[in-house]
Amino acid sequence: MKDLRNHGESPHDPRHDYVAMTEDLLAFIDQHGLKEPTLIGHSMGAKTAMSAALRSPETVAKVVAVDNAPVDVTLSRTFASYVRGMKKIEEAKVTRQSEADAILRDYEESLPIRQFLLGNLYRSPEDGIQRFRVPLDILGRSLDHLGDFPYKNPGEARYTKPALFVRGTQSKYVPDDVLPIIGQFFPRFQLVDIDAGHWLISEQPEAFRQAVVSFLQDPETAQ
């Protein structure tokens, strides 16, 4: 498997928007001969999965969108704060993850979220310094675009197969007033609320797992 561009060990590219990431995802599915996969994505990954399903509905069997919706929003300032914290870690040239965690604690108090962010660190074999795999400058410059959604009109794109939307009740990204637009783009959608913030997979992993398994096994979501 590969991560989205500019994440994990996937290639870095100055362009970082949902049209490009959707093209990457659909090309990956085609190149690997995947037959109607279920797409599960959180946050940026959720919008990429939704966009791929709307662009090529015949390619995708089901969608699980985690704490994001098919609308334009303003990103929380915490994302920019995370990038600043991660840059601070690189500037400090730390050699231990505990040192990185101590720096990031000034930017995020939740240990599970810090652990998630620090999962991008790797130790350079040349000098032992821990660096991030993700290109922080590119991601920092792209933040203004990552609240957007490439589809604006449900009359022009609709995904009529099963879709699950999982939202954190303490998060702002899927408020009740966007549920009608979700229903227009994804008329067979189900909604599950989990008592967590935006990083609900890290905060409530078992509740998330149960929600997804229940959705995938539900006879009502069969094609």
E strand residue ranges, the chain: 38-42, 62-66, 121-123, 130-132, 163-168, 189-194
Q: Which pLDDT does position 60 carry in this prediction?
A: 97
Closest CA to 162 of 75, 38, 49, 56: 38
Give CA angle at 49 (3, 120), nearest 5°: 25
Cα distances (angstroms) measured from residue 195 to each of 20, 76, 110, 117: 32, 19, 15, 21
- pLDDT per residue rounded down to tens, the chain (223 residues): 467 877 777 777 677 888 999 999 999 999 999 999 999 999 999 999 999 999 999 999 999 999 999 998 876 678 889 889 999 999 999 999 999 999 999 999 988 889 988 988 989 888 999 999 888 888 787 777 778 899 999 988 999 999 999 999 999 999 999 999 999 999 999 999 999 999 999 999 999 999 999 999 988 776 5
Active-site residue, 81 included: no
Q: Which pLDDT does position 223 carry in this prediction?
A: 58
Q: What is the dihedral of CA 136, 141, 142, 143, to 10 degrees?
A: 90
Token couple for 115: 């652990």
Active-site residue, 198 included: yes
Q: Which pLDDT does position 146 carry in this prediction?
A: 77
| Phi, then psi, of 196 in degrees rounded to 5 | -165, 175
Q: What is the dihedral of CA 110, 113, 117, 123, to 10 degrees?
A: 70
Catalytic, out of 42, 43, 51, 202? 43
Catalytic, out of 7, 16, 42, 198? 198
Closest CA to 138 of 10, 23, 25: 10
Q: Which pLDDT does position 78 carry in this prediction?
A: 81
Biggest alpha carbon–alpha carbon distance for the chain:
55
Q: Which pLDDT does position 137 carry in this prediction?
A: 81
Q: Which pLDDT does position 188 carry in this prediction?
A: 97
CA pair distance 197, 195, nearest whole angstrom: 7
Domains located in the chain, CATH noted: 18-73+146-221 (3.40.50.1820), 77-143 (no CATH)
